[in-house]
Structure 1
Amino acid sequence: MKNFDAWIGKTEVSHDFTHARPVAMMQALLNQTEKQLAELPHLYHWFYFLPIVNAEDLAEDGHPKKGGFLPPIPFPKRMWAGGRLQFLKPIAVNQNIRRESEITKIELKHGKSGDMYFVTVKHSIFAENELAIIEEHDIVYREASNQIAAKKPTAAPVVAKPYSYKKQSPVDTVTLFRYSALTFNGHKIHYDRPYATQKEGYPGLVVHGPLLATLLLHTFSQEHPEQEVANFEFRALSPVFDFNEFFIYGDVHSQNGELWIEKTDGQLAMQAKVTFK
């Protein structure tokens, strides 16, 4: 396997402005249009610093071609694997923001479904030159395989866990399309069913990992508006498809909480931890 260590330490700086429109669009997606916000809800910074790439510079999968800031790993499947975030100060709507990014780790791992590269990028996000968020973002690159479509994974038995709340947040193809449009995400696995099933071997359209993470924190904030989040970490465990039904759980205590998404067949899709200020 090719060594990509030369990309470790590579940096990039991006600038943006927290326009209110993406916030309002996400509120509409979540049926929250009646609320006018002065600050970005947690994870809404993902609607900024979006790469603007000409169509001729897109790969077959709809992503920007590899070899710019991120290493040109040849595996065709790219997805969010998880992340860790520290929320240091709020970011206001209509504010100048800057993101300083650095590739901190590239690891090759061998799994049951084949080889995988994990790339970790550290983002330091500044609002009016004050550090507001420190984020470590994990990206996974996987080999091409139709293993998921060929054999439906058997859900491992899940031991019943205590929870403070259990909510359902239906996601359909319109939700996937609107979120892709909001994030300028051209990845075809989220809206092009023939590509997702025939080219990448999925049984259906894939629900965005960052959308699931946002649903976790959004639901938590709806249930516990009195808590101020200091840290949030999440990890994707199995894909959620457009035909899946799932529940959002939270087991919340005085200083921290466990959050997770569980499909109705008992399979965990995402798990997360949150701590409070």
Structure 2
Amino acid sequence: MRIDEATLSHLQEWIGKSERYPDQVTSAPYRALSATLDRNDPEPKPGIFLPELWHWLYFLPHPQQSEIGPDGHAKRGGFLPPVPLPRRMWAGGRLRWVSELQIGDAIERVSTIKSVTHKSGRTGDLLFVLVEHQIFNQKGLALTEEHDIVYRAAPSPDEKPPAPTPAPRDAQWTKVINPDPVLLFRYSALTFNGHRIHYDRSYVTQEEGYPGLIVHGPLIATLLVDLVREHHPGRKLQSFEFRAIRPTFDIHPMKVNAALDLDDPSGQTLRVWAEDHEGWLTMQAKAVLSP
């Protein structure tokens, strides 16, 4: 399926569309993700700080079973434009915290489609959708997030993957992660993510052509932030931005890494990245700590 001018014009009619989604920061998802990440966090009582990126446990879409497509995603349309390309990926994002979210908060997310853009790449059509999320609690705006979604065509049999990028070798803090199927399944369950590439091995290898289950981009980003939290206890994030570079699969261990950005004399900025078992860069990120 090619994205012609008429199709792109139709998809761009979604620009400016918005939706509101109320929720509450309850304790059960916090407790479950803490266990999934092997953390020993305090009991999530009202007023306890919700760690950065854990808001992804809330505002979860709940499509009816009859609305699920063959890949496990909800069928196209609704809030997001009905892009006629089969592969969809959370390509990255940028987040800025204004105030803390806490257990017990009544929260609301206002989401707006900011842009729909098309590019013709080496492997065919690419369609980029930029969604802005604003999250409010009883104090007002708590968090802004820009969410990059990329759609692409299915690969051709003779398609070669892009050349990999070596990961930096100057990490100050490193952690080895075993992204086994149980970890991926638990994270899929916590985020109500039915996408079969994360838990259905026969589907991801036979239908999508990948060598193994794909580790969720948001999970990798969460593991990167968790590494920062582990080595900077008591420090809150002011901002975080990340970009997916290369898929990570469950068939080998992976690493998350961090190092102080020497270009920032304040010591608040960290370079953060993930790499696969061969040392190839899989996600690149920057974290800025509050003073």
Q: Which amino acid aligns with 2:248?
A: V
Deviation at 1:271, TM superposition (A): 0.5
Deviation at 1:247, TM superposition (A): 1.1
Q: Tell me, yes or no, if the aligned pair for 1:124 and 1:133 is still in contact at 8 Å.
A: yes
Write the deviation string for residues 171-197 of structure 1: whole angstroms up to 9, x where unpaired: 100001010011100000001111111
Pair 1:12 & 2:22 matched: no
Q: Which amino acid aligns with 1:122?
A: E
Write the deviation string for residues 6-65 of structure 1: whole angstroms up to 9, x where unpaired: 111100000001110000000000112453241110001001110111100111111111
Give aligned pairs, total: 275
Q: Tell me, yes or no, if the aligned pair for 1:78 and 1:139 is still in contact at 8 Å.
A: yes
| Superposition TM-score, scaled by structure 2 size | 0.90
Write the deviation string for residues 40-99 of structure 1: whole angstroms up to 9, x where unpaired: 100010011101111001111111111100000011111100000001100110110000
The match for 2:145 among 120, 124, 135 is: 135
The match for 1:222 among 215, 226, 230 is: 230
Deviation at 1:124, TM superposition (A): 0.3
Q: Please, which runs of 5 or more residues in structure 1 have no aligned partner?
A: none
The match for 1:209 among 214, 217, 235 is: 217
Q: Which amino acid aligns with 1:72?
A: P
Q: Which amino acid aligns with 2:181?
A: T
Q: Tell me, yes or no, if the aligned pair for 2:167 and 2:281 is still in contact at 8 Å.
A: no
Deviation at 1:108, TM superposition (A): 1.0
Percentage of pairs with the same residue = 44
How many angstroms apart in 2 are the aligned matches of 1:180 and 1:97? 22
Partner of 1:181: 189
Q: How does 1:57-76 map to 2 (within 5 A)?
A: 57-76=67-86
How many angstroms apart in 1 are the aligned matches of 2:92 and 2:84? 21
Q: Which amino acid aligns with 1:222?
A: E
Q: How does 1:1-277 map to 2 (within 5 A)?
A: 1=4, 2-3=7-8, 4-37=11-44, 38-128=48-138, 130-145=140-155, 155-156=164-165, 158=166, 160-253=168-261, 254-277=267-290
Partner SS, residue 184 of structure 2: helix
Partner SS, residue 96 of structure 2: strand
Q: Which amino acid aligns with 1:275?
A: V
Q: After TM superposition, which residue ranges in structure 1, 4 or more long, deviate above 3 angstroms?
A: 150-156
**Aligned residues: CA RMSD:** 1.7
Q: Which amino acid aligns with 1:132?
A: A
Partner SS, residue 176 of structure 1: helix
